[in-house]
Amino acid sequence: MEYFVSGIGTDVGKTIVSALLCEALQADYWKPVQSGDLDNSDSKTIRSLISDDLHIFDEAYRLTTPASPHYSAEVDGVRIEPAKIHRPVNQRPLIIEGAGGLHVPLNDDQTILDLLMVWDIPVILVSRNYLGSINHTLLSIEVLQQRGIPIAGVVFNGTPTPSSEEVIAKYSGITVLGHIPEIANPDKDVIRSLAIRWREELTRKLDERHPMNVEMEKKVRLLVERGA
């Protein structure tokens, strides 16, 4: 069982949601591309938030500049090659955290979406309320659907905003996996407590993805690959 955590943009809470998913599903963690702030990387943040027995895999690319991965890689004199980023062989569930949103460029002609096309694993989309977030969330869902990339569901992070969340669920038809409250000072105890409360609902909803939706994703994916 593997899930890719992406956001509708930057700073929407992917790392906190990833920590909660790791703890709730007793999953290991992997951040393939880290751009900048290597002394306080997302992997180090996750290590400080989840159980010690859960494993953190090393990043495939550790880039020094806090910028879009394609530019950060250029500064470091390397090129990110999605086809050469191999998922860890793992016995436990695995949570993979992306960099920014779906259209974040990895090199001159490939984005996070191209990585997901290679992997074909379900995406958990993290949304956070701000002016424009409805549009950004629905566009992110639409591009995943157009590519035939499976969507496990959406997680709303931060202060509850029913008017936005309800319209996103209605227009998209995507499963809402949960609502994560604003966490001022996250630590292991807070993450563990929230994860335990979320675990039953999360696992039930992940198991309930409608077979018709899965079948439609496969058909769309086949058409995309054929260039139809």
Phi/psi zone of residue 179: left (φ > 0), alpha (ψ -120 to 50 degrees), beta? beta
DSSP, collapsed to helix, strand or coil, labels residue 62 as strand
Query: Which pLDDT score is estimated for 228?
Result: 53
Q: What is the pLDDT, as a whole number, of residue 93? A: 92
Write down the mean pLDDT value for the chain.
Answer: 89
Range of the domain at 7: 2-27+95-226
Q: Would 68 be classed as within a structural domain?
A: no
Distances (CA, A) of 16 to 27, 58, 180, 210: 14, 18, 9, 27
pLDDT at residue 220, as a whole number: 57
Helix (H) or strand (E) holding 5: strand 2-7
Closest CA to 147 of 114, 189, 196, 175: 114
pTM of whole model > 0.75?
yes
Give the residues of the chain that fall short of pLDDT 70.
209-228
Q: Domain for residue 54, yes or no?
A: no
Would 74 be classed as within a structural domain? no
How many domains does the chain contain in total? 1
62 occurs within a structural domain: no
* Catalytic (active-site) positions: 31
3-state helix, strand, coil in the chain (%, to 5): 45, 20, 35
